[in-house]
Amino acid sequence: MAISHESNQVDRKAWSIDRVKPFWVLIILGFIILGYIAYPKIYPEPLDTIPTTGETVTDIDGNVYRTIKIGDQTWMMENLKTTRLNDGQEIPYVTVDREWETRTSPGYCWPNNDPSNKDDYGAMYNWHTVDTGKLAPEGWHVPTYEEWETLAEYLEGDSVAGGALKEMNFSIRWAGDRIYTGEFVYFNEFEKYWCSTGGGWHPTDAQYWTITRQETVFSASSHPRMDGHSVRCIKDN
């Protein structure tokens, strides 16, 4: 009888613990949810109220871009579309995959090789075009790695900056990527912005920042310089 009684006590205790566990889990989850609602992530200023500057900038081809000030930086709100460097030199228009793959000098294309994508998505440039230092309009430049990093830090870090950029007037275009083989990938899924900074995982790479439709991350990496990415310009200080 003693053994039976002890066994019964153990069973009752285990039963009580099993009953209590879900209760405390619900309590903890409740506090987490309430905390998230009561104390949402606060950016330096409400994202949907960050105004455009009201100013525009015009490239050498006559394309006009709206601008936005985020923190101490002024950015274009659209991807660059110029087909010439700011000294008037034509940038070669490259549609053939093999030519894109082997190119070691400036070149551009339209996403998916479709000129009708110009207005919505802008042009895609290989990094050799960026490296001329003449791609942006006068008074503007292609951002360095550190300038993109400054933007991410202002928006509370790269783990959430992508989500912030999607909430505000940065007007992400999702042009995708033209990889070094000439193939177009990730159209309407990714946006990748060149940095003016060379190097990266490989000495012959160049650095870029990327954002996806599905995630809040705004992350940096490097790609071969033959790749085609979008370009956003930042105003000179």
Q: Are 18 and 76 in the same domain?
A: no
Q: Are 20 and 126 in the same domain?
A: no
Give the model's confidence band at 178: pLDDT under 50 very low, under 70 low, under 90 confident, else very high: very high
Q: Are 26 and 66 in the same domain?
A: no
Give Cα 87 to chain centroid, integer Å: 29
Q: Residues near 37 by Cβ (< 8 Å), separated by ≥ 6?
A: none
DSSP 115: G
Share of the chain above pLDDT 70, in %: 78
pLDDT number for residue 157: 87
Q: Are 35 and 57 in the same domain?
A: no
Q: Are 174 and 134 in the same domain?
A: yes
C-alpha distance from residue 149 to each of 4, 59, 187, 211, 221 (Å):
68, 25, 24, 13, 12
The answer, yes or no, to whether residue 105 has pLDDT greater than 80, is: yes
Three-state DSSP class for residue 29:
helix
Question: In the 3-class helix/strand/coil scheme, how is 45-93 assigned residue by residue?
Answer: CCHHHCCEEEEEEECCCCCEEEEEEECCEEEECCCCCCCECCCCCECCE
Q: Of the candidates 159, 166, 136, 167, which has an alpha carbon nearest to the alpha carbon of residue 74?
A: 136
Kind of pairing between the strands at 108-109 and 124-125: antiparallel
Give the model's confidence band at 35: pLDDT under 50 very low, under 70 low, under 90 confident, else very high: very low
With both helix axes pointing from N to C terminus, report the angle between 158-167 and 145-154 in degrees, rounded to the nearest 10: 80
Range of the domain at 14: 1-40
Give the model's confidence band at 50: pLDDT under 50 very low, under 70 low, under 90 confident, else very high: low
Q: Are 135 and 152 in the same domain?
A: yes
pTM: 0.78
> Across residues 39-68, what is the average pLDDT?
73
If one counts the domains in the chain, the total is 2
Q: Are 90 and 30 in the same domain?
A: no
**In angstroms, rounded to a whole number, what is the distance separating the alpha carbons of residues 96 and 133?**
25
The answer, yes or no, to whether residue 3 has pLDDT greater than 90, is: no
Q: Are 68 and 142 in the same domain?
A: yes
pLDDT number for residue 41: 45
Give the model's confidence band at 53: pLDDT under 50 very low, under 70 low, under 90 confident, else very high: confident
> Across residues 223-228, what is the average pLDDT?
96
Q: Are 73 and 36 in the same domain?
A: no
Q: Are 27 and 106 in the same domain?
A: no
Q: Are 28 and 53 in the same domain?
A: no
Q: Are 188 and 105 in the same domain?
A: yes
- Measure the CA angle with vertex 191, ends 188 and 195; round to 5°: 160
> Across residues 199-206, what is the average pLDDT?
88
